[in-house]
C-alpha cells in the first residue's frame, strides 16, 4: 500500500477494538462516516454529538506529497498519510477496518496471496483425502 510506514505500523500494532466509526474528517469527506484507528484526535471526538465545523483557518497538522506537490494537511483533513507525509500522526485520519487486529506484519501483497493459495491448497488436499 502507498501508506506511510508509521500508518502501516499503527495498523500492525492495533487490536481488534482499536478502530471506531467517526464522522470528524473532512472537508474532503465531510459528513462521511469512516472506520478509523483510535488515535488522539479520534479519541478526543469519540462520543461527541457533532463533527467539528469546517474551519478554513484550521491549523496545519502536517504536509503530504500528492502529484509531486507539497500539500498542507489542515486539522481534520481526510488525506491519508502516504510515504511523503510529515506531521502529527495522532491528528491524522487513519482509516482501518475491523480486521486490522488480525494484521501482525507488513508483508508484500504477493507473499500474502501466495501463502493464502498454499493454505487453501493444503485444505483442499486434506478434505479430498478425508472422503
pLDDT at position 121: 96
Phi/psi at 111 (5° precision): -65, -40
Residue range 47-88, pLDDT digits in tens = 887 777 777 788 899 999 988 899 999 999 999 999 999 999
Cell numbers of 63, please? 504536509
Rounded CA gap, 43 and 20, in Å? 9
E strands, 1-131, in order = 19-22, 34-37, 60-66, 69-74, 86-87
pLDDT at position 10: 97
Residue range 82-123, pLDDT digits in tens = 999 999 999 999 999 999 999 999 999 999 999 999 999 999
Amino acid at each position: 500500500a502507498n501508506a506511510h510506514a508509521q500508518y502501516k505500523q499503527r495498523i500492525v500494532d492495533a487490536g481488534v477494538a482499536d478502530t471506531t466509526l467517526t464522522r470528524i474528517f473532512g472537508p474532503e469527506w465531510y459528513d462521511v462516516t469512516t472506520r478509523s484507528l483510535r488515535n488522539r484526535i479520534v479519541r478526543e471526538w469519540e462520543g461527541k454529538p457533532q463533527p467539528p465545523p469546517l474551519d478554513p483557518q484550521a491549523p496545519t497538522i502536517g504536509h503530504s506529497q500528492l502529484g509531486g506537490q507539497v500539500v498542507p494537511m489542515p486539522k481534520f483533513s481526510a488525506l491519508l498519510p502516504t510515504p511523503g507525509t510529515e506531521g502529527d500522526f495522532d491528528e491524522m485520519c487513519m482509516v482501518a477496518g475491523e480486521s486490522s487486529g488480525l494484521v501482525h506484519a507488513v508483508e508484500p501483497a504477493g507473499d500474502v496471496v501466495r501463502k493464502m493459495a498454499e493454505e487453501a491448497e493444503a485444505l483442499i488436499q486434506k478434505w479430498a483425502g478425508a472422503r
